[in-house]
Chains A and B, each alone.
Chain A
């Protein structure tokens, strides 16, 4: 099962891009990378996922390195409401997205300041 490593905390100025790194050096070829976040006192929120190619949606962009050993979640214009714990997860279990157990680690505490 691929483990992930994230920095404990990061800061970002409001309006700037927040780039959150994640290492997953033991990821296998058919395992996806998922990102979730948890704003204080709320349930976790799905952000984005990817396999090989870069992905973008209305919330964020996900950049996965060519060797797939690391990825970066990008919030292009961070706001105060983006202050949260961000989790990078490689679901365990069956490969692909058919089922993968989510194991939430400690994540990265992102603080967006004015």
Chain B
């Protein structure tokens, strides 16, 4: 299996622009997680899905952030409008049954200028 796939790997955008991050989980996994990592706050869980349904979005920082999972093999995290403080590395992870044994993608490094 190719593992969790994220795209793009790097994204540079200007403040106010819409940003869409994409994730393909490991085939057959039924949990999908979005995390954000910054130097100041470390690694934070933003939202997670089980069987394509959002279960807990309490970590989503504000309404500018939204996440969808239209099918079992694809998820998006959208930021609109983006702000410089959104600059971070965003990780997607997936897991099977045991949601604590998660497999992470390589991350998307987002820079908002």
Residues of A in contact with B, size category: 20 to 34
Within the complex, the shortest CB–CB distance from B3 to chain A, in Å, comes to 9
Q: What chain A residues lie within 8 Å of B43 (beta carbons)?
A: 38, 44, 104
Binary per-residue interface labels of chain A (56-99) against chain B in the complex, 1 for a CB within 8 Å, 0 otherwise: 00000000000000000000000000000000010100000111
Main secondary structure of the interface of A (DSSP, over half): loop
The contact sample of 30 A-B pairs, CB cut-off 8 A, is: A32-B100, A34-B100, A34-B101, A38-B43, A42-B106, A42-B107, A43-B4, A43-B91, A43-B93, A43-B104, A43-B107, A44-B91, A44-B93, A44-B104, A45-B104, A46-B102, A49-B100, A89-B100, A97-B99, A97-B100, A97-B101, A98-B99, A99-B31, A99-B50, A99-B100, A100-B99, A101-B56, A102-B102, A104-B43, A105-B42
